Structure 1
Amino acid sequence: MKHLGIKEIEEILPHRHPFLLVDYIEDYEPGEYATGYKCVTFREDFFRGHFPQEPVMPGVLTIEALAQVGAVAILSKEENKGRIAYFGGINKCKFKGKIVPGDKVKLETKIIKQKGPLGVGEAIASVDGKVVVSAELTFMVG
């Protein structure tokens, strides 16, 4: 298994706090897949407004976290080092549960298609083994 800490992730992704939504990568294979984690705390900036009476991580940020994990898989390929992966589309997205303070979110993105700079990743976010978000993410390396 190949592990990446926050410093190594920052060498691959252009994102920085507060928009870097991956705390560590547990395993990855360049161009194939990546599995990472987001440890959600009550101190996340977005909880102040979403929602103060019942804090829930916004679904779009969960999708972004999944995309960032997928970007680690794509941008860790030698020919993509120093580049950026952009969103091209989100398909088959389903929200099946909430992410709340204290959750450790497992983020898995597997690259299922790639042709030139375009590709598709199959992404799943889960908490305690329960799928909370699934989606197909289209990307473009620029």
Structure 2
Amino acid sequence: MSKNEIDYIDINKIMAMLPHRYPFLLVDRVEELTPGDSIKAYKNVTMNEPFFQGHFPGLPVMPGVLIVEALAQAGGIIVLSTDGLDVTDKVFLFTGIDKVKFRRPVVPGDKLVLDVVKIRSKMGIWKMKCVATVDGEIAVQGEVSAAIVDKGAL
């Protein structure tokens, strides 16, 4: 591991970085981080997730859009960890979702591994390749793009 890599970020540090809170914080732990470049994180999926009440009764499946959101939140950690980037009074918002494929359902008991790698960043717009896996099998893959915008602009 190079000196620029971080090998562990706990939930308290994640909450200090991301604005999301229960029930919408979808990253539990960061296992590896190369600031500004890549991340390996995970979300432990439990039956206690509020979305399982209605998706689907008797057949709990994590909504695909929430898996994409988990990947985007992991991508947000990449951006927020970038050296020299001032994100004071800023927020990171989706600008696009491309080439997304849903390959397998994610259910209670799964450990959803989130791998995100920066493709490019220019003028506050970031594009990232994302793959979410469970037990080594791809659950979701695709690309997300997002922009850093002033909170006051919302």
TM-score (norm 2): 0.89
Q: Map Cα deviations across residues 70-128 of structure 1 (whole Å, 9 max, x no partner).
A: 00000112414443211000000000000000000100110111102001000000000
Q: Structure 2: which amino acid aligns with 1:76?
A: S
The partner residue of 1:84 within 84, 91, 113 is 91
The partner residue of 2:141 within 107, 125, 134 is 134
**What is the rounded CA distance, in whole Å, between the counterparts of 1:86 and 1:110 in structure 2?**
17
Deviation for aligned residue 1:34: 1.1
Q: Is contact 1:90-1:138 (8 Å) kept?
A: yes
Structure-2 residue corresponding to 1:28: 33
Unmatched runs of 5 consecutive residues or more in structure 2: 1-5, 150-154
> Does 1:109 pair with 2:110?
no
Q: Structure 2: which amino acid aligns with 1:10?
A: M
Structure-2 residue corresponding to 1:14: 19
Deviation for aligned residue 1:135: 0.9
* Number of matched pairs: 142
Q: Structure 2: which amino acid aligns with 1:5?
A: D
Residue identity (%)? 43
Q: Structure 1: which amino acid aligns with 2:69?
A: E
Helix, strand or coil for the counterpart of 1:124?
A: strand
Unmatched runs of 5 consecutive residues or more in structure 1: none
Structure with bigger gyration radius: 2
> Does 1:55 pair with 2:45?
no
**What is the rounded CA distance, in whole Å, between the counterparts of 2:69 and 2:135 in structure 1?**
20
**What is the rounded CA distance, in whole Å, between the counterparts of 2:7 and 2:146 in structure 1?**
23
The partner residue of 1:45 within 45, 50, 62 is 50
Q: Structure 2: which amino acid aligns with 1:129?
A: G
CA RMSD of aligned residues (A): 1.0
Deviation for aligned residue 1:40: 0.4
